[in-house]
Structure 1
């Protein structure tokens, strides 16, 4: 509870309270990303690292003036958090791709004059009631035009579009 650690102690307490609430209530964070990982994870990592760096620096600062330690701690925490963000990006599912997969199996309404293997848009309604305009493609030569109901059967994450087929053909196949 002494300088310079006291600067980051309240932030660390807030981070701990946040994660206790998230874990105990099973809450989900839908906030933006920082360096490719969810902001709460990055901020928590940064605060914990800065707190530890000021604690360590306060004990072993030697001839360095004590006021330099918080500045060094911020720089060090930012660098280490960035280095840790790289493997975390690979371990965490991508937000947009994870939500795209939720559309597979739903029906959509075609909004363009036609759908080909290289062009088309549709409107889809998610389970939560929200709607989205998505890019769609078809593998066959079915007549998919504005107003046609189609079934989303796959997603292409690299091309950022969905594969569709007419909903009436999908029902006959079942």
Structure 2
């Protein structure tokens, strides 16, 4: 046990031992509810540039540190304590940590989608199909398709006296947050305005 502690506290493993202690404390605080695991900010961009994007930086860095710590322990035991070999062990440990994190990042990406959260405002500018017999200032529904191909039935309203019947094409031009409905105009009306 003394040899393990000496190796863990010797160069280069001591660098990763300290980082591993920080990682363990971080995850204890996350599990206790004291920190948010998604609070990554600017670090995500830096990791993206070195090929480790797509997964929260806290998880990627935890993997890099844990693997590099283990690799530095093994390297220190195998290569001894010659200064040049210690530097080589440090660099190799970082490289191994980065390589393993890169391999694990891809399977983990599906658990951490990076696409922005869908919003009702995403429907603004999309064409829809009226599903009710009429659309007025206080009544109407339409079917609209999202960018991912899914469809939704939404509440729609109009300000004019345009004739909307079931099956009519319309264009959504605004969303009313208070009333939770979309404002529409006939699709051929928006086509005419483009032609001018």
Match of 1:82 among 79, 102, 109: 102
Aligned residues of 1:139 and 1:163 also touching (Cα < 8 A)? no
Query: Unaligned stretches of 5+ in structure 1?
Result: 109-121, 123-133
Q: Does 1:52 align with 2:70?
A: yes
Figure out how many residues of one structure are paired with residues of the other and give that number. Answer: 134
Q: Does 1:36 align with 2:59?
A: no
Once residues 73 and 152 of structure 1 are traced to their aligned partners in structure 2, the CA distance between those partners, rounded to angstroms, is 58
Once residues 42 and 151 of structure 1 are traced to their aligned partners in structure 2, the CA distance between those partners, rounded to angstroms, is 45
Superposition map of 1:18-167 within 5 A: 18-25=26-33, 27-28=35-36, 29-32=38-41, 33=44, 34=47, 35-61=53-79, 65-90=85-110, 92-96=111-115, 99-100=117-118, 103=119, 122=121, 134-136=122-124, 137-141=126-130, 156=146, 158=148, 163=152, 165-167=154-156
CA RMSD between the two structures = 3.9
Once residues 84 and 162 of structure 1 are traced to their aligned partners in structure 2, the CA distance between those partners, rounded to angstroms, is 34
Decide which structure has the larger Cα Rg and report it.
2
Alignment CA distance shift 1:65-1:83 (3 Å): same
Richer in helix (by share): 2
TM-aligned CA deviation for residue 139 of structure 1 = 2.9
Once residues 46 and 20 of structure 1 are traced to their aligned partners in structure 2, the CA distance between those partners, rounded to angstroms, is 18
Once residues 142 and 114 of structure 2 are traced to their aligned partners in structure 1, the CA distance between those partners, rounded to angstroms, is 19
Report the equivalent of 2:161.
Answer: none
State the secondary structure of the residue aligned to 1:66. Answer: helix
After TM superposition, the score normalised by the length of structure 1 is: 0.60
Report the equivalent of 1:6.
Answer: 14
